[in-house]
Amino acid sequence: MEFVRPLEPILIIDDVKEIRDYLNQILTELGYEDILESSDFSSAKPVIDKKSPNVIFLDVDLPDSDGTDILEFINITYPHAHVVMCSGHNSLENVQNTWELGAKGFIAKPFNAKKVDTVMKRLELIE
């Protein structure tokens, strides 16, 4: 019997390559295989259209647009996707704002494998 991975594919949108690589490594070590990456929203849009990711790790600060604007767009256009916001600015106001806009999780940078695992387990409960 094949193991069903309802949270895949996973898309990482972050302009810092090292962060994308690190998050990809963590997710791979947690057993996820279908992981996609984009450095900005304009390159992520066609990936979202084609692959329809179930989980999107989204940096709040991107060079081509604001993460909260992207979050609103994704929630309207792809309501099935679980968006996890990632930011080095983890003020209470920032976290609350992303929750109010429909994020299903928030990870403060720098993150670690335990934080990512916790968020993914929480998303599995939503599925």
Residues 5-33: pLDDT tens digits?
A: 579 999 999 999 999 999 999 999 999 99
Share of the chain above pLDDT 70, in %: 90
Helices (H), 1-127: 17-29, 41-51, 67-77, 92-100, 113-126
Q: How many helices (H) and strands (E) does the chain have?
A: 5, 5
4-8, 38-42, 72-76, 85-89: the lowest-pLDDT one: 4-8
What the block records as the tokens of 120 is 């993914």
Answer positive or negative: Cα dihedral of 25, 82, 45, 95: negative
Q: How far is CA 82 from the centre of its chain?
A: 7
Q: What is the mean pLDDT of residues 39-56?
A: 94
Would you place residue 1 in the very low, low, confident or very high pLDDT band (cuts 50, 70, 90)? very low
Query: Whole-number mean pLDDT of the chain?
Result: 88
Among candidate residues 69, 50, 59, 57, the one with its CA nearest the CA of residue 30: 57
CA 101 to chain CA centroid, Å, is 14
Judge whether 47 and 22 are in contact, CB under 8 Å: no
